Structure 1
Amino acid sequence: MGVEGKDKARALEAGAMAVSGQLGKTVQRLRKAYNLSLSELADQSGVAKSIISQIERNETNPTLATIWRLAQALDVSIDRVLQGTEDDAFVGKSSKAETPMLVSDDGRCRLGIIGWIKTVDWLQWYDFSADPGGVLESEAHQRGSIECLSVLEGELEVEVAGTIDRAKAGETLRYRCDRPHVIRNRSDETAHATMVCILKAAVME
């Protein structure tokens, strides 16, 4: 192999290592974002735990079939996995008219769905408002879920399994929502809050 051939080979090898390095970081970042252990990702993808570990440490160059299985398990495209962390700038915008709205049974509470549809399985967030006397009753979410209610205006009360607490503007309540829970506005003023539900928190066993 001539000098030119060796230089080209070294360039290709360096390029492969760069892609592999980005790949390892991306797989690890996505796995942690989904709160998956190496074993769980191995079970979901069919890729051996040892191989995934080597990929994350950039100790191996995986086949396209392996990348495809990991991409399927992480619910992303192969392009996204190979692209690494150097994504283009992303800005999305929804108008008020485009924001889906849920209304409580009593008609006094409104939930504007401002979260991203792509995260709905594990993270949901809402713009919440409640007229005086408004009550929002919710069924239990999946085990390990927590909810964060940050009051922007007025005062709200939360009840979970017989435990009641209240928050005023500037305060946040965090509570288990893997059991029935109720939000009430007992004041004579409209209350406004941001609500975030983490469905796979698994932090309150």
Structure 2
Amino acid sequence: MGVEGRDKAKALEAGASALSGQLGRTVQRLRKAYNLSLSDLSEQSGVAKSIISQIERNETNPTLATIWRLAQALDVSIDKVLQGAEDEPFVEKTSRTDMPMLLSDDGRCRLAIIGWIKTVDWLQWYDFHAEPGGVLESDAHQRGSIECLSVLDGELEVSVGGRLEHARAGDTLRYRCDRPHVIRNTGSTPAHATMVCILKAAVMD
């Protein structure tokens, strides 16, 4: 590794350390503010007591899923948990097993949350899989919200506001999702797509 590579590695390591340090201090401060013991927070978040202790002592770099569970248990946004660390450089990796998973009512559609939880209030990003015949029904989002569905494999149909539109691999559908909408796999093979939902968008006429 050259000098430039070593400098970059040191910068990333320093950034990760700063992020971890900020996180540990914030989690501990919020936990004490709510008068919670490590055991209390562990029970409410589903995160092991030993892991929380390591986070507070800055002895581990938690996954995004772990941070999300702690934020939910502490009743704060992920922005609050990570506040003050935005300017530090860092590289973040999430494995498939750490991604929160949502299922449709019929159990045939799966959405892995792959977007950054820090942006969930205005930008949501999912990895979408649907078995043949799978149906995902969604309620209306905020006024002006837009959803973008890019089909990677298979065939999907979107129904919104009484209008139907089909898309195959390579196609992208963009539609208002501030009204009930439905995604169906109308093909005979599994479908795979990426879904991006932009919330709080400018109101459309």
Band the TM-score falls in, shorter-chain normalisation: 0.5 to 0.7
Shift of 1:97: 0.5
Shift of 1:204: 2.1
Q: Partners in 2 of 1:121 and 1:79 — Cα distance?
A: 19
Alignment of 1:1-205 (within 5 A): 77=83, 80=86, 87-205=87-205
Highest CA radius of gyration, 1 or 2? 1
Q: Partners in 2 of 1:152 and 1:191 — Cα distance?
A: 8
Q: Partners in 2 of 1:102 and 1:116 — Cα distance?
A: 16
Shift of 1:88: 4.4
| SS of the residue 1:144 aligns to | coil
Q: Partners in 2 of 1:79 and 1:151 — Cα distance?
A: 35
Q: Partners in 2 of 1:79 and 1:103 — Cα distance?
A: 33
Count residues in correspondence.
126
Decide whether aligned partners of structure 1 residues 179 and 89 sit closer, same or farther in structure 2, where only a CA change above 3 A counts. Answer: same
Residue identity in the other structure for 1:198: I
Decide whether aligned partners of structure 1 residues 79 and 114 sit closer, same or farther in structure 2, where only a CA change above 3 A counts. Answer: closer
Shift of 1:178: 0.3
Q: Partners in 1 of 2:84 and 2:188 — Cα distance?
A: 53
Residue identity in the other structure for 2:107: G
Q: Partners in 2 of 1:200 and 1:135 — Cα distance?
A: 26
Q: Partners in 1 of 2:84 and 2:184 — Cα distance?
A: 45
Q: Give RMSD over aligned pairs.
A: 1.8
Q: Partners in 1 of 2:161 and 2:150 — Cα distance?
A: 20
